[in-house]
Structure formats: C-alpha cells, structure tokens
Amino acid sequence: MTILQQIATYLYLRKKDPDTPNSSFVKYMHGINRISILLFLFAIVVIVVKLIIKK
C-alpha cells in the first residue's frame, strides 16, 4: 500500500482494506494519524496565506 493510498484511507477518501486487523489500538492509531495529517494541512494553508498577504 502506498503512502498516498494510506492517507486517503485515513481521511475516508478510500474504502478500508477488509484484511486489516480490527483492534481498538489500530483505531486509536488511525485517529491520531488523521488528526496529525489535518493539522499539518491546516498549518501549510496558514503559512501559504501569510506568505501571500505579506507580499
């Protein structure tokens, strides 16, 4: 599974693989990864907006 496919799965853009393990720890890990990806994308947007406004 490529990195882009994994990100799409985290953000509910792609269906989950039915063969993956289904434990609560995996769900927590995916939830934390989802939050970190969204915060990273938000930070990138803020940086781009600051750079555009500064010019």
End-to-end Cα distance, the chain = 41
Distance CA 34, CA 8 (A): 10
Task: State residue 48's pLDDT score.
Answer: 95
| Domain assignment of residue 26, given as a range | 3-54
Q: What is the pLDDT of residues 7-49, one digit of tens each?
A: 777 676 666 667 766 788 877 887 888 899 889 989 999 999 9
**d(C-alpha 11, C-alpha 39), whole Å:** 12
What SS3 class is residue 21? coil
As for how many domains the chain has, the answer is 1
CA 29 to each of CA 33, 41, 49, 50: distance values in angstroms, whole numbers, following the listed order: 6, 18, 30, 32
Q: Is the pLDDT of residue 53 over 80?
A: yes
Rg for the chain, CA atoms, rounded: 15
